[in-house]
Amino acid sequence: MLKTPETGTWRRTSPFAILFFIGRILRLIAKNAWQSLAPLFALLVTYQGDLVSKLILGASAFAIVVTVGSVLSYWFFRFQLLDDSILIRQGVIKKKQLDIKFDRIQGINTQQNIIYRYLGLVTVTFDTAGSAGSEGNLPAVTREFAGSLRTRISGNGAAEEADESADVPQSDALVHLGWRDMVRIGLADRRALLIFAVAGPLLERLEDDAERVIADAVAMAAGYGLEIDTSSGVWIGVSAVLILIVVLVLLSVAAAFLRFHDYQLFLDQRSLRSVGGLLTRHEHTMDLGKIQTLRLQQGIVQRWLGRFRMTARQAMSKGGAEAKKRYFDIPVVTAELADQLRRQLLAPEAGILTQDPRSNQFAAVSPYYMRSRILFVGVLPALLATTFFSLEIGLYGLSFLLWLPIVAAVAYRSWRRAGYLHDDNEIVRRSGLLGYRTVALLFRKVQRVSVTQSRYQRRKNLASLRMYMASGSVRIPYISHETAKQLRDYILYKVESSDKAWH
Amino acid sequence: MFQNPEIDLTLLPRAEDLEWQGLHAAFKKRLRVHMAIVIAIVAVAFAVPSFIPGVPIPVILSLWASLAIVTTLTMIWPALAVPRRGYAVRDKDIVFRKGILWRSVTAIPFNRIQHVETSSDPLDRKFDLATLQLFTAGGSGGDLKIDGLGKDVAEQLRAFILEKVGAIVENA
């Protein structure tokens, strides 16, 4: 088995990689091929003969195909370490060679399922910058091998002291999440709310059915001389809904346990590392230098719990689900812990500012931000709709005026939430509607900057500043034109006089 | 020797009082020709219902009237928009401004440019124009695109920027 990364020879991973390939083939079938398997299955069932023995035959044939496929995939999977890259050759019928350059690798993530954990094996995933479809995996390599790869890659380009750092005793965890935090994650999970929203209409149907069942039960009970009145019937319905909610929340909490159980965050030298997960342990690393923005988010539930979610984002070439995988996630932190972490993550040049949205250090943006929204999104459309529809439907057209208070409330809330705060090296922007979101970035990592003025803003001598980062853009709306220009000139000065790498 | 001079914010170079370089004079004409071609195609499409009997006359009239309005606007628009666009090249960055209603000024430092591209479509070539595109890292929106440059100017800019980017890479 592999102990140290030797260069220049082709080699295979551990035979336990077959497990990984079985998983991959099954996933592939589940995703693409189940439609074509269904007719086969139907054929098998309708063909004459004993059903049970046919099923056994079919299942074993399927198992054999999958196993042979996995063994072949394992056999044809080889990799080679070079001085500055890793080559991976794979594919049974269609051969593919991947060449992953070390300096393109943003981080090395590992996953360890429950079997691998007993064997001390991990599956390594290389996180490469902006090269879609060429993400590489190394299934079933030893933990030590993954560790040495990690030090090697973080050593590449940076200081050559990487070898020593491997001997440094492991630092204490900066964050360690317990079961209470799992409950918090589960409660705050937006998907739980989403399930509820989707299930909402379904619940109504269920309620109808439940009503009928209850009515029947009541009738039956009456027949037997039992006394169940309608109020207890309603009570049964309500408790059914409550039970459903509880089940959903429990599921969400269970998901949190699966993903984040025993979550620990470490800072080894200049790289951030997190480990967590109940069955499959996920280990993520990110170089501190690669952090483009630090984000602190708080939804309504999290606000009520007094907790935040922190994400560190790195350069990416596309948005969407693919980009989301690249966030370095710290699922629950308190505001104090978040600020403490920031000081370490953005040291030495920044991180002194607070990212706590409740802080009163934030400078507000101009109230015209609110006024322009009320005017252009609220008043004008509402008046237009009212006059237009009043001709058609008479006084009911006035109901369009109800749009106004909604827009006004939204505009007021988001104006109150909007704000910014900066020092010589760093800027923090705050935004939000129901919850809060603060984004922090280093001036010197800005890619380009623009100052925009609408006609309305020009009249009020205001402007919006947008800073484009390698991980997306951050906008500060409705600040005075003079401030925007000054910030822009200062950012350009910081970027152009910086000799540090932005990534 | 470590130095940490204090920065006077008011003395920082301002990306404002610049001598803006305009786009090529033929660019307005190019935009108009482009729009004229599009409008001609639409006009042909509109001509079809006009000759079909039974289509109500008000419908036909309103179709042509809206086309006339669009034509006028698209012919006026280049005269307003093109003079508003301009770029300024400084030692360490390039600044581009544009917009009639929404005016924006965008600055890209040379040490953040990943690559540079010039291109011209057939219509551009007819008027001897080219488009210069500057790419920075990250997927946030389109990168800076300056169209309507003279072909020679675009080439010069490209060479100049590449030289600047190269010099920064060598020094790093």
B139 to A317: CB separation less than 8 angstroms, yes or no = yes
Pairing of strands A293-298, A436-442: antiparallel
> How confident is the model at residue A135, as a pLDDT?
65
pLDDT, one tens digit per residue, over B59-78 is: 888 889 999 999 999 999 99
Say if residue A249's pLDDT is above 70: yes
A255, exposed or middle or buried, with CB in 10 Å at 0-12, 13-18, 19+?
Answer: middle
Give the residue from B70, B33, B67, B37 showing the smallest Cα distance to B49: B67
Q: Does residue A284 belong to any structural domain of this protein?
A: no
Residues in A touching B92 (Cβ below 8 Å): 492, 496
Cis peptide before A331 (omega within 30 of 0): no
* pLDDT band, very low/low/confident/very high, at A150 (cuts 50, 70, 90): confident
- Please report, for the domain that includes residue A105, its CATH number: 2.30.29
What domain range includes position B73?
A: 26-81
Give the residue from A278, A268, A251 showing the smallest Cα distance to A177: A278
Question: Three-state DSSP class for A92?
Answer: coil
Contact A15, A118 (CB under 8 A): no
Q: Are A322 and A218 in a shared domain?
A: no
> How confident is the model at residue B77, as a pLDDT?
93
Q: Are B96 and B164 in a shared domain?
A: yes
Q: Does residue A7 belong to any structural domain of this protein?
A: no
More confident residue, A145 or B95: B95
Q: Does residue B3 belong to any structural domain of this protein?
A: no
Q: Are A305 and A157 in a shared domain?
A: no
Q: Are A476 and A332 in a shared domain?
A: yes
Q: Are B77 and B92 in a shared domain?
A: no
Mutate to test the interface with A, among B112, B115, B161, B165 (most CBs of A within 10 A): B112
> How confident is the model at residue A319, as a pLDDT?
54
Calculate what percentage of chain A has a pLDDT beyond 90.
22
Say if residue A242's pLDDT is above 70: yes
More confident residue, A40 or A155: A40
A447 to B16: CB separation less than 8 angstroms, yes or no = no
A447 to B112: CB separation less than 8 angstroms, yes or no = yes
Tokens of A79: 């990799």
Q: Are A186 and A333 in a shared domain?
A: no
Mean pLDDT of B116-140: 86
Q: Domain total for chain B?
A: 2
Say if residue A164's pLDDT is above 60: no
Q: Does residue A273 belong to any structural domain of this protein?
A: no
> How confident is the model at residue B142, as a pLDDT?
53
Say if residue A214's pLDDT is above 70: no
Reduced 3-state DSSP string for A356-407: CCCCCCCEECCCHHHHHHHHHHHHHHHHHHHHHHHHHHHHHHHHHHHHHHHH
Calculate what percentage of chain A has a pLDDT beyond 70.
82
> How confident is the model at residue A166, as a pLDDT?
44
Q: Which residue of B has its CA nearest to A498?
A: B111
CA distance, residue B36 to nearest chain A CA (Å): 29
Task: Return the H-helix or E-strand segment holding B14.
Answer: none
Mean pLDDT of A384-402: 81
CA–CA distance, B148 with B156 (Å, rounded to integer): 14
Q: Are B91 and B152 in a shared domain?
A: yes
pLDDT, one tens digit per residue, over A449-491 is: 999 999 999 999 999 999 999 888 899 999 999 999 999 999 9
pLDDT, one tens digit per residue, over A28-57 is: 887 777 677 777 777 777 777 777 888 888
- A451 interface with B at CB cutoff 8 Å: yes
Q: Are A113 and A149 in a shared domain?
A: yes
Give the residue from A479, A362, A356 showing the smallest Cα distance to A416: A362
Which residues does B81 contact at the CB level (< 8 Å), separation at least 6? Answer: B98, B99, B100
pLDDT, one tens digit per residue, over A357-380 is: 988 899 999 999 999 889 888 889
Residue finishing a domain among B81, B114, B145: B81
Residue finishing a domain among A112, A130, A165: A165
- A128 interface with B at CB cutoff 8 Å: no
Residue count of chain B, please give it. Answer: 172
Q: Are A298 and A445 in a shared domain?
A: yes
- Please report, for the domain that includes residue B160, its CATH number: 2.30.29.30
> How confident is the model at residue B109, as a pLDDT?
92
Q: Does residue A193 belong to any structural domain of this protein?
A: yes
> How confident is the model at residue A476, as a pLDDT?
95
A485 to B14: CB separation less than 8 angstroms, yes or no = yes
CA–CA distance, A106 with A129 (Å, rounded to integer): 6
* pLDDT band, very low/low/confident/very high, at B4 (cuts 50, 70, 90): low
Q: Does residue A279 belong to any structural domain of this protein?
A: no
> How confident is the model at residue A250, as a pLDDT?
86
Q: Are B42 and B118 in a shared domain?
A: no
Residue finishing a domain among B81, B98, B122: B81
A502 to B16: CB separation less than 8 angstroms, yes or no = no
Mean pLDDT of A214-219: 64
Q: Does residue B69 belong to any structural domain of this protein?
A: yes
Mutate to test the interface with A, among B80, B106, B114 (most CBs of A within 10 A): B106
Mean pLDDT of A386-415: 85
Looking up tokens 């200049």 gives A270
Q: Are B96 and B73 in a shared domain?
A: no
> How confident is the model at residue A160, as a pLDDT?
40
Tokens of A151: 């030090």
CA distance, residue A446 to nearest chain B CA (Å): 8
Q: Are A56 and A142 in a shared domain?
A: yes
Q: Are B72 and B101 in a shared domain?
A: no
Q: Are A332 and A471 in a shared domain?
A: yes
Q: Are B74 and B125 in a shared domain?
A: no
Mean pLDDT of A204-227: 60
* pLDDT band, very low/low/confident/very high, at A165 (cuts 50, 70, 90): very low
Q: Are A124 and A204 in a shared domain?
A: no
- B13 interface with A at CB cutoff 8 Å: yes
Q: Are B92 and B166 in a shared domain?
A: yes
Which pTM was predicted?
A: 0.78
> How confident is the model at residue A39, as a pLDDT?
75
Q: Does residue B19 belong to any structural domain of this protein?
A: no
- A489 interface with B at CB cutoff 8 Å: yes
Q: Are A302 and A425 in a shared domain?
A: yes
> How confident is the model at residue B165, as a pLDDT?
84
DSSP H helix total and E strand total for chain A: 17, 20
CA distance, residue B51 to nearest chain A CA (Å): 34
> How confident is the model at residue A503, as a pLDDT?
74
Say if residue A348's pLDDT is above 70: yes
Q: Are B68 and B100 in a shared domain?
A: no
Q: Does residue A272 belong to any structural domain of this protein?
A: no
Residue finishing a domain among A413, A433, A448: A413
Q: Does residue B12 belong to any structural domain of this protein?
A: no
Q: Domain total for chain A?
A: 4
Q: Are B46 and B109 in a shared domain?
A: no
Q: Does residue B18 belong to any structural domain of this protein?
A: no
Mean pLDDT of A86-113: 82
For chain A, the average pLDDT equals 81
Q: Are B51 and B122 in a shared domain?
A: no
What domain range includes position A125?
A: 17-165
More confident residue, B23 or A47: B23
Tokens of A250: 């429990």
Nearest by CB to B144, which of A318, A448, A498? A448
Q: Does residue A177 belong to any structural domain of this protein?
A: no
Residues in A touching B103 (Cβ below 8 Å): 452-453, 458
> How confident is the model at residue B65, as a pLDDT?
93
CA distance, residue A99 to nearest chain B CA (Å): 21
Q: Does residue A357 belong to any structural domain of this protein?
A: yes
Say if residue A141's pLDDT is above 80: yes
Q: Are A56 and A136 in a shared domain?
A: yes
Residues 58-97 of B with CB under 8 A from A: 92-93
CA–CA distance, A316 with A309 (Å, rounded to integer): 21
Q: Are B98 and B159 in a shared domain?
A: yes
> How confident is the model at residue B23, as a pLDDT?
93
Say if residue B100's pLDDT is above 70: yes
- B137 interface with A at CB cutoff 8 Å: yes
Main-chain dihedrals φ then ψ at residue A187, nearest 5 degrees: -65, -40
Calculate what percentage of chain B has a pLDDT beyond 70.
91
Residues in A touching B105 (Cβ below 8 Å): 450-452, 488
Q: Are A336 and A352 in a shared domain?
A: yes
